[in-house]
Homo-oligomer: A and B are copies of this chain.
Amino acid sequence: MPKHPDPSRRSERSRQAILAAARELVSEVGYAKVSIEAIAARAGVGKQTIYRWWRSRGAVVFDAFLALSEVDEGGGMALPDTGDIEADLKLVMRATVAEFADPAFEGPIRALNTEIISDPDLAAQYRERLAAPLDEAKKARLRSAQRAGQIAAGTDLDLALELLYAPLFQRWLHRSGPLTPEYADALVDLFLKAVRPA
């Protein structure tokens, strides 16, 4: 495309504008009322630009939230693995707590959760596209800890993940307590007591 000096940078700018518009609109009007037309108008692009990259409204909205949850600098979703499960989980949970306490993150995720609760189809999409890949990354770290003898071999890792993350999620959702580094540490300590080898 010789007409544009740097088409890939221009494309990336459009893509980011579309993802930001989708996030903003879900926060403002709810998932049910977000249209491709509204996303295109907000992002300052044509509908055809959106359809070049995504096949549906659901696909673009989920990429918008996925971008928010991804690990920085394209490092994928792998959790840190220094060989010390306690140190690694405290690092991850402190970062997760800070993320949930950050207004820029928590607004859109709160809006997404409102929609998920009352929409079983959206809940299924959320599980498949957002929660499941993250859970796989977390379980890979727990399996590594099992191999290192730091977590009991027979532990149900799906249940273990709920034990580690659901308390934070509920506290954030219901605003029922402070979200602090101390809270993250206490949660990891209690979690490790539940899953460590006998």
Contact = CB atoms under 8 A, between A and B. Distances in A.
Interface of A: 110-111, 113-114, 116-118, 120, 123-124, 126-127, 131, 156, 158-160, 162-163, 165-167, 169-171, 173-177, 183, 186-187, 190-191, 193-195
A158 B126 CA distance: 29
Q: How many copies does the complex hold?
A: 2
A159 B186 contact: yes
Q: Is the interface of A mostly helix, strand, loop or mixed?
A: helix
A184 to B, nearest CB: 11
B114 A160 contact: no
Contact of A167 (B120, B159, B187): B159
Given A162-B167, A177-B158, A190-B163, A118 B111 contact: yes
A141 to B, nearest CB: 18
Contacts of A170: 162, 165-166, 169-170
B123 A175 contact: yes
A120 B160 CA distance: 30
Contacts of A120: 175
Contacts of A190: 156, 159-160, 163, 194-195
Which interface residue of A113, A124, A190 has the most chain B CB atoms within 10 A? A190
A37 to B, nearest CB: 25
A175 B124 CA distance: 8
A162 B123 CA distance: 23
